[in-house]
Structure 1
Amino acid sequence: MDHSRTASHWDLQHFDPVFLRAEWSFHPYAKQRLHHLLGGVAAREEWFYYQHLNGRSNLRALGIGVGTANSELRLLSTGTIGRYDLYDVSQAALDSARVDAEHIGIADKARFICKDIHTVDLEPESYDVITFIASLHHIEDLDGILKKV
C-alpha cells in the first residue's frame, strides 16, 4: 500500500497549532484525570518508567508511529533504554525528533527511520520494549506487526 498521502498528512499535522490545541490529552480536565489515574505522577512516561523499566538498563526499544517522538525521547532520557529505533512515515516529524534528541544530548542512542512499519523486516525477539504511543489505532495489521517482533 502507498502511504505517501498519509505521510504528507502527518508531515503537516504534527506542526498544526489547531491540531495541537485540539488534542484531547492537552485539555486541563483530561490532564487532571490522567494525573489521578497514573497515581499522581506527572506524565504517562514517568508512570511507565516506574512500573516497567525502573532498575533495568541497556534495553533495546522499538517505537512505532512515533511522530515527533516526544514520549519516546522522555523514556530514552531516563538512561534505561540503550538504543531506541524510532519509526514513522513522516520525515518532517522525525527531523523534528532528531533536533530535539540532539538538543538534549541523546541523539546517539536513537535511530530515526522513515518507513512504513508494515514493510520492515524485524528480527524476532530483537527488542526488549515496544511502544505504540498514540499510534496503535493507526496500525493496519497489528497482529502481523506483533508477530514480527
Structure 2
Amino acid sequence: MRLITLDDFKDTLLKGKQRGWDFILSKFTFQNNARTKSAFNSSAVISANWWEIPYVKKRWNKMMTNDEHQNYKQYLMETVLKDHSNLKLLSLGSGTCSHELELAQYKQFEAITCVDLSEYRISQAEKKAAQNNLQNISFVCSNIDNFSFKEDHYDVVLFNASLHHFRHVDTLLSEKIVPCLTSSGLLVINEYVGPNRLQFPKAQIQKINKGIQLLPKKFRRRYKSSLYKNSFSGSGLLRMIIADPSECVDSSSIMPSINKHFKVIIEKPYGGNILMNALKDISHHFIDLDDEKTKALDAIFEFEDEYLKHNPSDFVFGVYRKPEH
C-alpha cells in the first residue's frame, strides 16, 4: 500500500478550491465519525466526478439492464419484483435517499426505511418525501451499530454505494443482514467492490494513465482550477484514513462475502476500473456533449472494455437471494 502519493497533495489543493478550506479543516479531528460525516454533510454541488456524466450513466444502464434508458431500479421493479406486493425495504447508508425516493413511487412497496448517519442528508430526504407526498418511506439518522434490526422482517435490503463504507463486511452480512431478511428476502447492491482504500495495483494505475492520455488536453483542465490532469498516481493510505476512515475500508471482501452467504440471482459488473479515476476532476467537461467529446468518451469506454476482458470489475450491480435452510 502507498502511504503518501503526489495526488494526495494535488487533490488536497483542489478540494480546498472546490469545497472550501473549511471542509479541509473539518478533517483534522481524532473522531472517525466526525470525519466521515464531514465527507457527506456538505451541501456543495460537485461536478467533478464520473457519476455526474449523463453519457456514463447511459453506459452503466446498458451494462446493467441492456437498455441505456433504463436504470437498475426500473429494471429491478419490472423484472425481479414485478409480481410482488407489500414489500418492506431497508436501505443502509442511504445518503440523500434519491434511489429510495424513486423506489417509494412504486406501489409494490409498503414501507421503505432509510438509515444514514448524516443529519444533513436525512433532513434533505425528509423534505423531498414530504414535497412528493410519499407516505411509505421513513428516515432514521443513526450509526449502524445503534440501529435495531428486526429479525425476519425485510423483503429487500439495499446497499447503493454504501456497503464499501462498512467495516467487517462478512460479519455484517452474516449476523445482521441475513437474519433481518424474510425467508425469500433479497440483497440488492450497486457498489464499488475493488481494492481496499483505493489501493489499486500498479498495472491498473498504468492503464488509468493511458486512459487519461486518450482525452484531448483541453478536456483535462481540472474543475475550478487552471491545472491540467496529465497523470494519476493514486491515493495514499494516510489521506484515505484522514479524509474518511470509512472509505473502502473492507471493499475487497464484498463479493467473496456475498457469494458465501447468498445465492446469485442477477450479477452485472459495469467497470469503473479506468473511468472513475481517469475522469475524476475533469468530468464537468462532459456534462454537455458535442461530437468531439462523445468521440473522446467512446475511446476511453472502449479502452476500459478491453481492460475488463482480463480483469474483474471494480463496480457491480447485483441481486442475491437469502439461502434456503
Aligned equivalent of 2:107: 79
TM-score (norm 2): 0.42
Alignment CA distance shift 1:121-1:145 (3 Å): farther
Aligned equivalent of 2:293: none
Aligned equivalent of 1:143: 170
Letter in 2 for 1:17: V
How many correspondences in the alignment? 144
Report how far residue 141 of structure 1 moved.
Answer: 2.6
Asked whether the equivalents of residues 118 and 141 of structure 1 are also in contact (C-alpha less than 8 Å), the reply is no
Aligned equivalent of 2:157: 130
Aligned pairs for 1:1-149 (under 5 A) are: 3-12=33-42, 15-18=43-46, 21-37=47-63, 38-40=65-67, 41-106=69-134, 108-146=135-173, 147-148=175-176, 149=180
Higher helix share: 1
Alignment CA distance shift 1:47-1:103 (3 Å): same
Report how far residue 42 of structure 1 moved.
Answer: 2.5
Matches of 1:23 and 1:82, distance apart in 2: 34
Matches of 1:44 and 1:75, distance apart in 2: 11
Matches of 1:9 and 1:45, distance apart in 2: 26
Superposed CA RMSD in Å reads 1.8
1:53 alignment partner, SS class: coil
Instruction: Please list the CA deviations of residues 69-117 of structure 1 after superposition, one character each: whole Å capped at 9, or x if unmatched.
Output: 00111111111111111000101101111111111111x3122101111
Letter in 2 for 1:50: E
2:76 alignment partner, SS class: helix
Unpaired runs of 5+ in structure 2?
1-30, 181-325
Asked whether the equivalents of residues 118 and 145 of structure 1 are also in contact (C-alpha less than 8 Å), the reply is no
TM-score (norm 1): 0.86
Matched residues, percent identical? Answer: 27
1:82 alignment partner, SS class: strand
Unpaired runs of 5+ in structure 1?
none
